Amino acid sequence: MNHVFTEHRSCLVSFLSALVLMMATTAIVGQDKDWRPVTTEELQMKTPKVDAAADAEAMFWEVRVDDSSPDELALANYVRVKIFTEKGKDDFSKHDIPFAKGTRIRDVFARVTKPDGTTVLLNKDDVLEREIVRSSGLKIRAKSFALPGLEVGSIVEYRYKEIIGSAQADDMRLIFQRDIPVENISYFVKPYSGPGQSAMGYYPFNMGNTKFEKDKGGFFRATMTNVPAFREEPSMLPEDEVRSWIYLYYAPELPKADEYWARISKMAYENTKGALKTTDEVKAATAQAIAGASTDDEKLRKIYDFAKSQIKNTTYADKVTDDEKKKVRESKTATDTLRIKLGSAGDVDLLFGAMARAAGFDARLALSGDRSELFLDRTVPNYKLMLGSSCIAVKVGNDWKFYSPASYFVPFGMLGWSEEQQLALITDPKEMIWQKTPLSPSELSMEKRTGKFKLLEDGTLEGEARVEFTGHRAAAHKNFNRGDSAAEQEKTLKNWIRSNILNTAEVVEFTIENVSDPEKPFVYTFKIRVPGYASRTGKRLFFQPNVFERNSKPRFDANARKYDIYIQYPYSEKDDVTLELPPGFTLENAEAPAPIKDAQGIGVHQTDIGVSKDGKTLVYKRNFSFGNGGFIRFGAASYPVVKNLFETFNKADVHQMTLRQTTVADGK
């Protein structure tokens, strides 16, 4: 935690703040009207300094955030970019500055300094203003300009001021890592200096040793140099966990983390006390729901099932009427939720908590981070930044367990993947209770595939298959198909089958089960015919016994990687295939790929191949799991090892077998 300023202000126009936040990623300004001189060295620069392969590189990028006025927030940017390639020229040829009602864009200047040193200034009349969108209560306009005389080797500069009325630099992100490399990027921040108690603080993320330091004119300055461009990579951490940025906020005081979270814990506990109250109605419903349950686990499961099945979760439901929405808005407590049989996702969780209490458990609201956005760091005392999710913590015996029937497609005993393995604050009036939510093991998120196929002499494959998903994999499929018609769901899955098996696959007699069921596995079955499945030579037929992996590729194919590898959750796959071989052919090899397992057993791959006694049927079994032991994050340095491991898995999956023709088939 860092604090640089002590000031005050209270009001925040949330939409405008959000807009400021978005604009701050692009904005510009300059108080002076004079351009800083371009040096000969800059002009003659032929290759980028930060990234030799860059198309364009910012020589400097400055943003002045002036929050000293009580009435407005002023952002002033000044950016200088060197263009190295045609693509860089394309990227910087046009510039748009969007702004909302209440915001003024002033002093827009731009110039291009050509490689020969001549400059072309942007004509004032060439700054065009247009309305992007207008609707009831909202108007977004944009000032746009094209940079004149732009060519490769040019230096582009632009600056402008953005004055946002009734806004302040609270809950604001300063983005240091941009889409292009930057030699030097600075944010200058001048906090509000009027009367009051609030202080401005900041939290740096992935910023190294960069801090705000006092600068001239009441500004504080934070600078980073040689910042590479931000680029997404497959299977990476959420952007906020890797990109360089600073979070600005105002607070009435500069809190110590433990004291802050203790206060949040207490406040949340007190605020949910009423909602979690065990009224007679809740008690009666609970008694009925848990009738016949003898163990704690059984009771909680029945309550969990009740909350999911008896309450319409309006966050997930397909059709929610205006009347239902109104009722949900007016509902305040678990008892209300129970009465109207309706609730938002949060209401469903609270009802579960209240009923758990009614069943004799200690149940509390637990506040956690969201792994898909930003991990909870308890040393950062800021709930807006850190708390991305919530669930219900229930004390079972001596242990706290976590539940969230609000996540409609997540089965009992699991949380949504982004809520798992997160630090959670179990609300309490007196003490801070931090506990990590568990990570579901790989076997709970399984793709189980069974198939009975027949290989024809010409290489065509025919047969039927069943594919079943559980846990997080089922939830992902159900969410993806949610809201689609049966026809569309079938189309989606057929395309998926074709991309996994072979795009010549003709898929018929398709069924999908449990698309909308909250807990049952997501299942689909189909019959398939795949011309050209096996390759034929003069006397042999080559085929891949794992039909389901016919088209699979290794998870990673890039030669290098910058960021850590991050797998959302542990998962597993189980295949069971029988394959009737064509008459007149015999297996030339029945070797199975060797088992694969890394030293820690994070990834395990086992294949068994057998042949029926009559030699006519091949039996293929595969078990694969990854993320075992809770290992789902791997350092960038270990990329070659992880990549190689997945290539080895893939090699085993696409293992080929050979049939040799012994006689000419007579069809008998």
Partner 1 sequence: MKKKTFPSFLFAVLFFLLFTHVEGVRADDPPPGWLQEAARMAVSKYEMKDVPAVVLRNEETVSVSSDGTVTRVRRYAVKLLLREGREEALASVVYQTDGEKVRDINAWLIRASGTPKYYGKKEVIDIALRDNDLYNEARVKVIRAVGDSDVGDVFGFETTTEERTVFSQFQFSFQNDLPVMYSRFSLNLPSGWRADSVTFNRDKVEPVVSGSSYTWEMRDMQPIPLEAGSPSRSSVSPRLAVSFFPTQATATQIKTFANWGDVARWMSELEDPQMTVDDTLAGKAKDLTANAKTELERIRAISQYVQQIQYISIQIGAGRGGGYRPHTATEIFAKSYGDCKDKANLMRAMLSVLRIPSYMVSITADDSTYVRAEWASPHQFNHCIIAIKVSDETKAPSVVTHPTLGRLLIFDPTDAYTPVGDIPEDEQGSLALIDHKDTDALVTVPVIPAELNRLDRNVEISLGTDGGITGKLNERTSGQSAALERGRSRRLSSADYNRMIESWISRGATGAKTSKIETRDSNEDGNFNLNVEFSAASYGQLMQGKLMVFKPAVVSRLDRMSFTEGKRFHPYVIEASTYSESVKIKLPVGFGVDEMPDATNVETAFGKYSTSYTVSGEYLTFTRSMKLNRSTIPADKYDSIRSFFGRVRAAEQAPVVLVKK
Please give the residues from 569 up to 598 whose contact with partner 1 meets the rule CB under 8 A.
588-589, 591
Q: Coil, strand, or helix at residue 609?
A: strand
Options 2, 44, 93, 225; binder of partner 1; rule CB under 8 A: 93
Q: Does 600 interact with partner 1 (rule: CB under 8 A)?
A: no
**Closest CB to partner 1 among residues 231, 436:** 231
CB of 4 to partner 1, least distance (A): 26
CB of 154 to partner 1, least distance (A): 10
Element (H, E) at 394: strand 389-396
**Closest CB to partner 1 among residues 125, 280:** 125
Mask: binding to partner 1, 15-54, rule CB under 8 A, as x and -?
Answer: -------xx-xx--------------------------xx
Question: Nearest 5 degrees, angle CA 634-CA 639-CA 640?
Answer: 145
Q: Does 135 interact with partner 1 (rule: CB under 8 A)?
A: yes
Q: Does 144 interact with partner 1 (rule: CB under 8 A)?
A: yes
Q: Does 647 interact with partner 1 (rule: CB under 8 A)?
A: yes
Question: Nearest 5 degrees, angle CA 373-CA 377-CA 378?
Answer: 140
Q: Does 149 interact with partner 1 (rule: CB under 8 A)?
A: yes
**Closest CB to partner 1 among residues 140, 380:** 140
Options 483, 615, 629, 635; binder of partner 1; rule CB under 8 A: 483
**Residue 438 neighbours by CB under 8 Å, 6+ apart:** 402, 420, 421
CB of 138 to partner 1, least distance (A): 7
Element (H, E) at 83: strand 72-83
Q: Does 132 interact with partner 1 (rule: CB under 8 A)?
A: yes
What pairs with residue 367 in β-bridges? Answer: 390, 425
Options 55, 183, 349, 573; binder of partner 1; rule CB under 8 A: 55
Q: Does 492 interact with partner 1 (rule: CB under 8 A)?
A: no
**Closest CB to partner 1 among residues 126, 377:** 126
3-state SS string for 404-425: CCCCCCCCCCCCCHHHCCCEEE
Options 14, 47, 197, 504; binder of partner 1; rule CB under 8 A: 504
**Closest CB to partner 1 among residues 332, 539:** 539
**Residue 571 is encoded by which pair of tokens?**
């998962």
Fill in the amino acid letter for 489: Q
**Closest CB to partner 1 among residues 136, 600:** 136
Site residues for partner 1, 174-233, by CB under 8 A, read 178-180, 231
**Closest CB to partner 1 among residues 446, 645:** 645
Options 33, 124, 130, 613; binder of partner 1; rule CB under 8 A: 130
Residue 134 CB coordination number (10 Å): 11
Contact 1, 380 (CB under 8 A): yes
**Closest CB to partner 1 among residues 397, 538:** 538
**Closest CB to partner 1 among residues 131, 509:** 131
Options 142, 293, 340, 596; binder of partner 1; rule CB under 8 A: 142
Options 31, 32, 94, 288; binder of partner 1; rule CB under 8 A: 94
CA-closest candidate to residue 396, choices 348, 364, 442, 430 = 364
Mask: binding to partner 1, 386-425, rule CB under 8 A, as x and -?
Answer: ----------------------------------------
CA-closest candidate to residue 278, choices 355, 391, 179, 197 = 355
Element (H, E) at 541: strand 540-543
CB of 100 to partner 1, least distance (A): 8
In this structure, are strands 94-100 and 72-83 parallel, antiparallel, or unpaired? unpaired
Fill in the amino acid letter for 638: S
**Closest CB to partner 1 among residues 351, 530:** 530
> Using CB atoms within 10 A of its CB, is residue 505 exposed (0-12), middle (13-18) or buried (19+)?
buried
Q: How far apart are CA 185 and CA 21, in angstroms?
A: 17
Options 10, 44, 133, 284; binder of partner 1; rule CB under 8 A: 133
Q: Coil, strand, or helix at residue 87?
A: helix
Site residues for partner 1, 317-376, by CB under 8 A, read 319, 322
Q: Which residue's entry shows tokens 């006694």?
A: 613
CB of 127 to partner 1, least distance (A): 10
**Closest CB to partner 1 among residues 227, 432:** 227
Q: How far apart are CA 40 and CA 535, in angstroms?
A: 64
CB of 81 to partner 1, least distance (A): 8
Fill in the amino acid letter for 627: G
Q: Does 284 interact with partner 1 (rule: CB under 8 A)?
A: no
Q: How far apart are CA 267 and CA 290, in angstroms?
A: 31
> CA dist 11 to 15, 198, 326, 338, 474, Å?
12, 12, 28, 36, 44
Fill in the amino acid letter for 131: E
In this structure, are strands 56-66 and 182-190 parallel, antiparallel, or unpaired? parallel
Question: Quick one: which segment of 79-87, 196-204, 304-312, 354-362 binds partner 1 (CB under 8 A)?
Answer: 79-87
Report the sign of the C-alpha dihedral through residues 387, 390, 395, 400, in that order. Answer: negative
CB of 643 to partner 1, least distance (A): 8
Options 270, 484, 513, 608; binder of partner 1; rule CB under 8 A: 484
**Residue 530 neighbours by CB under 8 Å, 6+ apart:** 460, 461, 462, 501, 502, 504, 505, 506, 550
Options 11, 291, 487, 599; binder of partner 1; rule CB under 8 A: 487
CA-closest candidate to residue 222, choices 198, 203, 240, 194 = 203
Options 4, 7, 29, 92; binder of partner 1; rule CB under 8 A: 92
Site residues for partner 1, 509-568, by CB under 8 A, read 531-532, 535-540, 542, 553-554, 557-559
Site residues for partner 1, 302-321, by CB under 8 A, read 319
